[in-house]
Amino acid sequence: MFEIGFFSIAALAVVFAGISKGGFGSGAAFAAAAILATIIEPGQAIGIMLPLLMLMDVTSLKPYWKKWLNRESVILILGSLPGVALGAWLYSRTNADVFRILIGVIALGFVLWQLGQRSGVLKQAKHHMPDWAGLIAGALAGFTSFVSHAGGPPAAVYLLSKRPNKTEFQATTVIIFWAINLAKAVPYAFLGLFTLETLTLNVALAPFALIGVWMGVKAHHWVSDSLFFALTYALLTVTALRLIWMAMT
């Protein structure tokens, strides 16, 4: 796992995740796990990325502390718990190829959702979604986050219906996924997704995570969202199709 070729790819993927977390709303951070899943087992890929994403979460908490929407945060976090449990149950009963397909499909779904949002094909909800819809969104976020660290879209659909300002939205997503990632750590550990080797690799990759967050904060001011996400969509599409192809063949 410490071969120079793998480590180079892993470091670049982690930097990319940090840039997304630090400057572009964190939505595309899960691309790192998808990239790693094309060269190692999906379980290893998500196991390696979780501690690094948690490190990025911690660095993002302070500037947004208590600026989140309290009620909506609680609803989404509570709703996420059965989604995390479902992800753990599915992982324990399926093989790596099923997870490759799931990660690939989720990645393609993310790209289509983002393109739909930006083109206006998908409209934001005109009315506040009820609490039960938030619980469903939380469950979907918990499941997709467990499988591929891609829980952003379900949570965003619910949150955006509440018409938060930019800071409230960012702060709420930070606290939600900090909590969801903590919840995921328990089943990840029991399922053997953390090993001495992966944790050692986390230590080696931690500086790249912090560098990525710093670069994201800087890039937020001089790289347009459209350019960043265009590159992200292209990368995710290629990665997703490769994962699905690997699983099918």
What's the pLDDT score for residue 25? 59
Task: Give the chain's count of helices (H) and strands (E).
Answer: 10, 0
* Residues of the chain where predicted confidence (pLDDT) is lower than 50: none
Q: CA nearest 57: which of 101, 33, 21?
A: 21
Distances (CA, A) of 232 to 92, 108, 154, 229: 30, 11, 19, 5
Q: 70 Cβ partners below 8 Å, 6+ apart? A: none
- Distance (Å, rounded) from C-alpha 228 to C-alpha 232? 6
- Distance (Å, rounded) from C-alpha 179 to C-alpha 175? 6
What's the pLDDT score for residue 228? 67
Q: CA nearest 45: which of 228, 179, 246?
A: 246
Categorise residue 196: left if φ over 0, alpha if ψ from -120 to 50, beta otherwise.
Answer: alpha
Residue 185: helix, strand or coil by DSSP?
helix
Is residue 3 packed enough to be buried (19+ CB in 10 Å), middle (13-18) or exposed (0-12)?
Answer: exposed
Helix (H) or strand (E) holding 146: helix 131-148
The DSSP-derived string for 22-40 is HHSTTTTTTHHHHHHHTTS
Question: Tokens at residue 237, please?
Answer: 């599409």
Q: What is the pTM of this model?
A: 0.81
CB-CB neighbours of 237 under 10 Å = 16
